[in-house]
Structure 1
Amino acid sequence: MKIIAGLGYDDRLPNQLPELFSGQLCGEQSLIAALEFRAGIIPPNETQATRAVAYLNALSAADNGHRFYSESLAVDPIASAESLLAWRDWAILHGWNHDPRSKNHGRMVDLAAAESGFSKDGTSLGERIYALLQRLTLLGPSVSGIELHHSRASWPPLYQHLFDQLESAGVAVTEAPKALQAQAPASSDLGKLQRALVSENNGPLRFQQDGTVRLLSTGSEGLAAQYAIHEANNETLIIAPSGQHSLATVITQQGGNDSGLGDLSTFRAPNQLLLLMLQSAWRTPPADALLQFLSLPAGRFQRLRRSLARRFRDLPGFDQEHWEAEINNFVNATLQDTPELDETGLRRDIEEWLPLCICPYDDKMPIELALSLTARVASYWNACLSTSEREQAKPIYSAAYAAADSVCQALREWPETDISKTQLNRLISMVLSLGNSSLRNSREVSAFDVVSSPEVVPLRTAPTTHTLWINPQISKLVETPPFSQAELRGIPLAPGPEQQTHLRQLALIRAHAPLLAARQFVTLISTNSTPELLQLQISSLTDTKVWPSLEQTILTNQCLHAPAQPIKEFSLPQAQRWWAPDRAVPAPRNSESYSSLAALALKPHEYALKYAAQIREGAIESLAADARLKGNLAHHLVEAWIREHPWTGKPVDRMSVSSWLDATLPVVIRKVALPLAQPGMQVEQLRFQQKILDALDALLKALVAAGVTNLQPERRFEHIDTLSQLEGTMDIFCEFEDGRFAIIDMKWGGYKKYREELKAGRPLQLATYAHIAEGNHSGQLADAGYFILSRAELLCNDTLVFPTATAVEPDQPTSLQLTWQKFEKTLRWRVEQLKNGHIEQTYGEAAPDRNSLPPGDAIDLIALEEQARKNSSQSYKATFKAVDTWRNLTGNIKEL
């Protein structure tokens, strides 16, 4: 059999290849593998991660505290081992320790000391070549010859030695370089560039700007991919050394066949499962990572995890008691659908796939735990790989399995009983890259011809009209590590300065192949700001110091092969104030809370979408330590204090509250406010602790001053009203000796808003709670107010019940009972509108009309909306809620 070898041929090859009979195309790695197979040598099956861990063990065993790597190894073991392993492999590929002329100078003495403890000896490419040299006589019967598409001088020195020895063993090695000539007309800009490259002309060319050579730059790989696919046809060759998943995404969006390019992306859900599961297991996991794990469309129990994700979005923490209820509902529903399932086994499986916060530490993880979680993911992907009937999914499952299995192997050889978070993340990063790169040899045929290396261009048999190259650069075959000249002198085959310059020149000539192959157009797009040798040469020849922006070129339609399509003018739809569906909207529901009643009265479009249409918000969003999160956390802390300290009515020492907060706050943060526990949030956490200390102290003093005799947090009431069954949970329910009661609703912020409510006589939430409580309590309502936690201030209409409160007198005499009556009339008016199929879109672009006016004895909704417009500077961007989901859904957006 004949072997055809070329540099870069291990990468993705063109779609149109020459017909080979009894031949095989090989690159640097696959050439050695092919020769090993025919020489009867079993190649090593070791991943780079397992080799790095094994080399870490060898370095640690040789470390006497005075090695040149001692301090680096102590600070970042796996990164140091990975870098030094690359040095070692390069040195062996250039004769170190295997050539009799090799010697140890400088740091090579320390690297040589680690060799005896390296358990993966013989696994590097250089060692494999040296082992192959001993068995070359066995290749004669099976290898008729080796044809080199690139000169011997282009190959690393050890390969050149291998070729010499092959010839001595009777295997012919011939050079057959693919000579490329200028293909474009000499009068065109491209023709001038091609001839300058062939003749090595160094002077700037006089271009006529005919559009045959386009030099562009952009900071977006996605935009470069969109432009490339838009410009490409069956005579276009696209070269993309990286970012091929962006090209795959664009191809899929345009309805093209699967190109196999996206298999390399580490952002695929299967490739994220291992990383997110391990991150979720830390004692205090990153909030965003935990939300991503719960929302990830990969792994078992996705439906359960999605429902938990919605809970987590509202209370971003892990509270075993609260989560257990959700799990129980899922188990009951599953057993009802599939009665033959074993409940004990189902719960055990759920526990295995929800390993949340099970690590006892935040900075290190026991190896047994890390290995157990990783093996679980590996087994899952192995099962998917063997049972899946979708051919397109198998390469993706294979990559995910290879990554998880590699981590398993590396963890089994980890030198300690624990692994730090940094080291574990480094291992995963190494393995994810490795698992995907193992698929590069596979090639899916699609309408778009995409390669990753310029060296493979001469293999293409179809004519190339247009070469489109994203990030043009020369091949970095084997870069020299930062060895000193003395150290290099002990490595026999290490190239000297002149030879390194010659190798770079040869690589530059090979990179000219795609430019010479183009017959009409060449488009070069750079997404990197760092200058590169090929880009510098092109810029010098074309006298172009700065490549024009791709964005600007598209907008101005400059020198584009395909003209931009004009957009027809059309009028945007007018904002609507009313919807008129062809059916009644059911309202009210069997049970309503204040939040749903407020939506019904103030934003009926939200009520219709959320409750009647059953549209839910998704769980994917960023989690921040914002006002909403701090409010939830403060509520939980106040509730926890009251429950742990039964109310006596006596003053509470501030220092005892402070001591309690010191112990309780970290625990509650992990349960409901993980974003506050992340690195870099310590100052914010201390500020919050000070504010909640002030708030608790002021709240307790207010309750003592009011003479409260009984205190209940989160008191839930239900009241069957003529409107519906009303439900409400009062933040703080106070009872007095004379049988009266009071309600305090806690808010983190909104001081100005709630003052305005009290002053205008429309505290709708307090009125609703008072109405519900009066229907369930024998006593009389004494007072109700808002306690603003961030200001440690209680707001009431007067100070008769709570002497320490801030009195906000209403503009006109009113009461909570009167406010509820107005609110109820407003609700009944809205219900009647919905029954008639009329849904008003409020607080948007369209102004209210006469149908927006409620009855005279109802809430003045127009005044409320006008007040909101006046306070437009307090937009949604300035508060905790960055997006108003329902107004964005309807398109009736006021704030831009």
Structure 2
Amino acid sequence: MTRKTILLGLSLNEPRLLTGRAPIPTHSPASLLRYLETFYALGAPAINRAALRTEQYRQIIALHQEQATQLPFYAKTFAADPLATAEELLSRRDELLEGGWKISRTPSETIPVRLRVTLELEQLVLADTNELDLLPGTADRLNALLAALPEDRHPRLQILLNEPRTFLPPGTQRLLTGLETLGDTVEQLPQPHAGDASTDLGKWQAALSGAELTDNNLTGDGSLMILRAQRETHLAAYVARTLRDNPDWRPSALLTIRNQTLDNAIVTEGLPSMGVPSNSLARPSLQVLKLVTAFLWAPIEVERIMEFVSLVNKPLHWRLANKIAIFLADTPGMFGPRWRGMIAGFFRDMKSERNWPDKKIKQVRDQYEIWFERKRYQRDELVPKLQLRFLFLQLREWALEERTEMRKEDVRKGRAQGEYGGLLVLYSQAQRAVELLDAQPEQGLGYLAVERLVRTVYEPAPAQFQPEEQGALPAIFAPASALQLPGQEPVARLLWWDFIENEPDYFFSRYYPPELAYLEAQGVSVSTPVQKNTLSIWQQARPVMHAGKQLILCLPDRVDGTEVEPHPLLGDLEAAFAEGTLANITIDVDHAGAATAIPGLTKPNFTGVPIAPLARPVPQINIQRLRDMGEREFESPTSIEDLLFYPHKYVFRHSLRLKKTPILSIASEGRLRGNLAHRLIEQLLREIGGQPARMNRAEVDTWIDENNLRLFQNQGAVLLQYGQEPERIQFIRTMKKAAWALVYAIKENGWTVRGSEELVIGDLEAMGQAMKGRADLVLTREKNGAVEVAVVDLKWQGKGTFENLLKNARDVQLALYGDFVSQNKMADEDGKILHPTPDNIHTAYFLIRFGKILGRNQLAFRQTETHGESEAKVVQRETLRRVRNTYNWRWAQFREGDLEIRCEETSGFLDDAYVGTNWDELFEMETSDARFDDYQTLIGLVR
């Protein structure tokens, strides 16, 4: 009778061998089970149902606990994490079933407690009084196949075993016994033997076989070599170049970690790709599954929303997502007036500027409303199951539609249609999430239950970036896949690409000794830690034993930037040979210029690339087009400061409008708190500033307590997130103290609030330049028959900085705001001047974090911390004069085409260049780098 020969191994789920594609079918225990099921009309599940089985078993456990007369052993862990407990207990149930235990038997007191609970749970599974029908798992399918085997429907098999039979799982051993009963044959692959004992490789093979070495020195004959480097990319470049320069050297490859590093380097050298497939949880499409649940909860998790809108593929139009990401980076809050204005402006712009049809606008708006305009639930509330189900259904349909659209785009552009496996995996995972929800009796899920559900269905997405090409190195992906078929010659050369620790550890047994004794008495086999460790040791040695003439071990210090440990076999290698002789077989790739080549091969020729530092900053650049640069219609105090002290910032930012690409991350802590504090004080003064009766501490504290939540939600939602409560409380305390300090100063000094964020317009009186700005706080009062105005600039912190500005008469912004207020050009729609021209103007800084007012005198506020000895009016006039003179001087430079690059490195050169300049008329220039300079790379500071 003709027999079909197959190869069976624990890691042979792909037909890849060291010699290339397997000439006979290869099977793992799971694929052999599936293959045999087809002959016995036993339907194998089309898709993974593990998550659904876990949920079903969770319900069975819950019912068991409810009926139990005493607390079950699993009660505490089940209360902490029901799904994880169900997964563990279900795996034990399946293991016992696979090992041959008839778990349908009636429990008795003689059975150990934990095993008895397994039987009690099975009784609930089999009971007709409930609807908890547990889907069949691998163990159930195995037992069904064993029961059907006597029908003898499958063709006769000759099974070649890779692993020793005793190392196989108990269920597989039972299946093999059943097949032998029918006449199938099971043969063990021949075990490899140590090679030539005179070579380094042969000596190590003999040592691993248990032989005693008569010569324990490594000579470096090339049969056994270790390639070391700091990073795996260095090793990849070295190996790929060696392959290119030595066309006859074509080793087989073992890659225990499936990444593209070596394959990419090989392709770069013009050699055929090995077609390394890869499974990863980092596929962008899969991240959507983890992030969509963030839309269910309040307070909003801004970081997760930012991640969602920043994904490459997401169920939201990329233009709107980018707009939202930029907004959140600057203002980490949602649904306030600015947010609403941003969203409305986006759709308005898309219609007017990009001519979006109404249908597309509606489609994008619907996407936005599905995710953002939905009811949210507090963390301690339950989200209705239907809401969550709708979310996953939307995600499922989007994944399928997105894949269809991407394949259509491939056709339109004449490209080969991609599979887009990540989207298919996302579709199936969303489908499994829906199935899990449908299987749950609960009508609502809490926050942790939702996250656990996502983790349960979340799995890696397979991808193959390049197909396996003709002439590529034969590659395997597990040490146990290194084998030799009968009649085949051993593989001459083997490259073990990632010779690093990548094996699981087994430290304890799942069963207590009495339980193991009971199972043994019942004839039930389970895998013990000793058996698993023995199997692991056997598997690790396979690549070494199957290398015929040469074995190359690649050992990086880091992989993907993370430090890694050497493979455990390195310790065996060091122990087997004399101390110090390991250096004879080691090549340090990072010192390739001085390293010894692999014997018999041409050493890769690497050329050191000298470091060429970028050019240093130059003091001045002559740009002819700068001569024709015109003045802007309006300047602001900020742009004027850039112009006066750092002209390159003015030209790049304000004239050329060069802006850095927004980094889509939440604003820094200092900036965030400054924005929130500024906004809170602005709103506070707007509401109570005109009502002196309300300007008391109790009113201020009450107002902040009643309004801070809305502000946080709209502009600072990160402070509402889990773990941020201490920072939020501290910020509110700081704001109460600061707000009262400012309100008290206003009230006690007789001021009233004229405006917050008040628009002020004026003329610089230098080249006729118009100015426009917004003063943070403008106060007014009448004293001794004179109208006085105070302009207060609100700052979060920076006490030393603003003290120095006052001392050195460099408070340009305050001087300009004061001058604009005095020019008083603001009028209503009828042309009526809004405010009378003040007789006296005062300026000051208010540092919110410290609750302090900084100024030159105490004429405006008795609480002012004074700095500077000159009379304030004189200083302000002098400051304005220097502003105008310096402004004219800078524009004179522009008219000559000269752009000054001022930083610490160029300040000395500029001082020499400006010898003879009348500095009494101008501001003294800065000698340090500009703060918050986005153009450091352009001017050469970043090299």
TM range (shorter): 0.7 to 0.9
1:25 and 1:641, CA in 2 relative to 1: closer, same or farther beyond 3 A? Answer: same
Instruction: Decide which of 453, 457, 467 is 2:478's aligned counterpart.
Output: 453
Partner-residue secondary structure (3-state), 1:839: strand
Look up the equivalent residue of 1:79 and give its one-letter code. Answer: A
Instruction: Decide which of 694, 702, 709 is 2:752's aligned counterpart.
Output: 709
Residue 809 of structure 2: aligned partner: 761
- State the alpha-carbon separation in 1 of the partners of residues 664 and 685 from structure 2: 33
1:638 Cα deviation (Å)? Answer: 0.9
Residue 700 of structure 1: aligned partner: 743
For structure 1, list consecutive stretches of 5 or more residues without a partner in the other structure.
870-874
What are the Cα deviations for residues 147-167 of structure 1, in whole angstroms up to 9, with x where unaligned?
Answer: 333332231121111112123
Moved more, 381-390 or 99-108: 99-108
Structure 2 residue 790 is matched with structure 1 residue 790: no
Contact persistence 1:240–1:450 (CA under 8 A) = yes
Structure 2 residue 613 is matched with structure 1 residue 572: yes
Instruction: Decide which of 126, 146, 155 is 2:168's aligned counterpart.
Output: 155
Contact persistence 1:2–1:144 (CA under 8 A) = yes
Summarize the alignment of residues 273-312 of structure 1 with structure 2, pairs less than 5 Å apart. Answer: 273-299=288-314, 300-312=316-328
Look up the equivalent residue of 1:50 and give its one-letter code. Answer: L
- State the alpha-carbon separation in 1 of the partners of residues 361 and 215 from structure 2: 77
Residue 434 of structure 2: aligned partner: 408
- State the alpha-carbon separation in 2 of the partners of residues 78 and 47 from structure 1: 14
- State the alpha-carbon separation in 2 of the partners of residues 545 and 75 from structure 1: 53
- State the alpha-carbon separation in 2 of the partners of residues 441 and 493 from structure 1: 48
Look up the equivalent residue of 1:741 and give its one-letter code. Answer: V
Look up the equivalent residue of 2:323 and give its one-letter code. Answer: S
Partner-residue secondary structure (3-state), 2:810: coil
1:731 Cα deviation (Å)? Answer: 1.6
Summarize the alignment of residues 842-857 of structure 1 with structure 2, pairs less than 5 Å apart. Answer: 842-847=902-907, 848-849=909-910, 850=912, 856=918
1:462 Cα deviation (Å)? Answer: 6.8
- State the alpha-carbon separation in 2 of the partners of residues 758 and 303 from structure 1: 45
Look up the equivalent residue of 1:786 and give its one-letter code. Answer: Y
- State the alpha-carbon separation in 1 of the partners of residues 640 and 376 from structure 2: 41
Partner-residue secondary structure (3-state), 2:854: strand
Residue 38 of structure 1: aligned partner: 39
Identical pairs, percent? 21
Partner-residue secondary structure (3-state), 2:179: helix
Moved more, 585-594 or 264-273: 585-594
1:129 Cα deviation (Å)? Answer: 0.8
Moved more, 749-758 or 810-819: 810-819
Structure 2 residue 385 is matched with structure 1 residue 367: yes
- State the alpha-carbon separation in 1 of the partners of residues 92 and 638 from structure 2: 64
Instruction: Decide which of 852, 856, 864 is 1:805's aligned counterpart.
Output: 864
1:749 Cα deviation (Å)? Answer: 0.8
Summarize the alignment of residues 659-738 of structure 1 with structure 2, pairs less than 5 Å apart. Answer: 659-719=702-762, 726-737=771-782
Partner-residue secondary structure (3-state), 2:743: helix
1:507 and 1:344, CA in 2 relative to 1: closer, same or farther beyond 3 A? Answer: closer
Contact persistence 2:480–2:540 (CA under 8 A) = yes
- State the alpha-carbon separation in 1 of the partners of residues 657 and 475 from structure 2: 45
Structure 2 residue 837 is matched with structure 1 residue 779: yes
Partner-residue secondary structure (3-state), 1:746: strand
- State the alpha-carbon separation in 2 of the partners of residues 624 and 741 from structure 1: 34
Contact persistence 1:122–1:128 (CA under 8 A) = no
Structure 2 residue 464 is matched with structure 1 residue 422: no
Residue 61 of structure 1: aligned partner: 63
What are the Cα deviations for residues 83-129 of structure 1, in whole angstroms up to 9, with x where unaligned?
Answer: 33332332222223358799852212223333355546343211111
1:188 Cα deviation (Å)? Answer: 3.9
Structure 2 residue 119 is matched with structure 1 residue 70: no
Residue 583 of structure 1: aligned partner: 625
- State the alpha-carbon separation in 1 of the partners of residues 367 and 34 from structure 2: 41
- State the alpha-carbon separation in 2 of the partners of residues 202 and 420 from structure 1: 64
Look up the equivalent residue of 2:173 and give its one-letter code. Answer: Q
Residue 115 of structure 1: aligned partner: 122
Residue 513 of structure 1: aligned partner: 542
Partner-residue secondary structure (3-state), 2:32: helix
Structure 2 residue 243 is matched with structure 1 residue 235: no
- State the alpha-carbon separation in 2 of the partners of residues 506 and 25 from structure 1: 20
- State the alpha-carbon separation in 1 of the partners of residues 551 and 258 from structure 2: 22
Q: State the TM-score, normalizing by the size of structure 1.
A: 0.85
- State the alpha-carbon separation in 2 of the partners of residues 125 and 854 from structure 1: 91
Residue 98 of structure 2: aligned partner: 93
Partner-residue secondary structure (3-state), 1:647: coil
Q: State the TM-score, normalizing by the size of structure 2.
A: 0.81
Residue 206 of structure 1: aligned partner: 217
Contact persistence 2:167–2:535 (CA under 8 A) = yes
Residue 83 of structure 1: aligned partner: 88
Structure 2 residue 192 is matched with structure 1 residue 180: yes
Residue 8 of structure 1: aligned partner: 11
What are the Cα deviations for residues 183-237 of structure 1, in whole angstroms up to 9, with x where unaligned?
Answer: 6x6444333212322345599943346676566899x9xx335534542548355
- State the alpha-carbon separation in 2 of the partners of residues 546 and 748 from structure 1: 64
Look up the equivalent residue of 1:808 and give its one-letter code. Answer: H
Structure 2 residue 168 is matched with structure 1 residue 125: no
Structure 2 residue 926 is matched with structure 1 residue 865: yes
Contact persistence 1:281–1:359 (CA under 8 A) = yes
1:99 and 1:596, CA in 2 relative to 1: closer, same or farther beyond 3 A? Answer: same
Contact persistence 2:11–2:480 (CA under 8 A) = yes
For structure 2, list consecutive stretches of 5 or more residues without a partner in the other structure.
126-131, 244-248, 411-416, 827-834
Partner-residue secondary structure (3-state), 1:794: strand
1:787 Cα deviation (Å)? Answer: 0.3
Contact persistence 2:742–2:851 (CA under 8 A) = yes
Contact persistence 2:95–2:526 (CA under 8 A) = no
1:130 Cα deviation (Å)? Answer: 0.8
Look up the equivalent residue of 2:809 and give its one-letter code. Answer: G
Look up the equivalent residue of 1:520 and give its one-letter code. Answer: Q
Summarize the alignment of residues 252-651 of structure 1 with structure 2, pairs less than 5 Å apart. Answer: 263-299=278-314, 300-336=316-352, 337-341=355-359, 343-354=361-372, 358-361=376-379, 365-389=383-407, 391-392=417-418, 394-432=420-458, 434-436=459-461, 444=468, 451-458=476-483, 463-472=492-501, 482-491=510-519, 492=522, 495=525, 501=530, 504-518=533-547, 519-523=549-553, 525=555, 534=569, 536-542=571-577, 553-556=588-591, 561=598, 565-569=606-610, 571-577=612-618, 578-581=620-623, 583-584=625-626, 586=629, 588-620=631-663, 623=666, 626-650=669-693
Pick the structure with greater CA Rg.
2
1:449 Cα deviation (Å)? Answer: 5.6
- State the alpha-carbon separation in 2 of the partners of residues 14 and 614 from structure 1: 60
Contact persistence 2:112–2:514 (CA under 8 A) = yes
Moved more, 751-760 or 56-65: 56-65
- State the alpha-carbon separation in 2 of the partners of residues 626 and 330 from structure 1: 28
Contact persistence 2:235–2:554 (CA under 8 A) = no
Contact persistence 2:856–2:868 (CA under 8 A) = yes
- State the alpha-carbon separation in 2 of the partners of residues 343 and 384 from structure 1: 18
Number of positions where the alignment pairs a residue of Structure 1 with one of Structure 2: 869
Partner-residue secondary structure (3-state), 1:123: coil
Residue 744 of structure 1: aligned partner: 792
Structure 2 residue 886 is matched with structure 1 residue 826: yes
1:890 and 1:290, CA in 2 relative to 1: closer, same or farther beyond 3 A? Answer: farther
Residue 872 of structure 1: aligned partner: none
Partner-residue secondary structure (3-state), 1:783: strand
Contact persistence 1:154–1:507 (CA under 8 A) = no
- State the alpha-carbon separation in 2 of the partners of residues 547 and 320 from structure 1: 67
- State the alpha-carbon separation in 2 of the partners of residues 663 and 135 from structure 1: 72
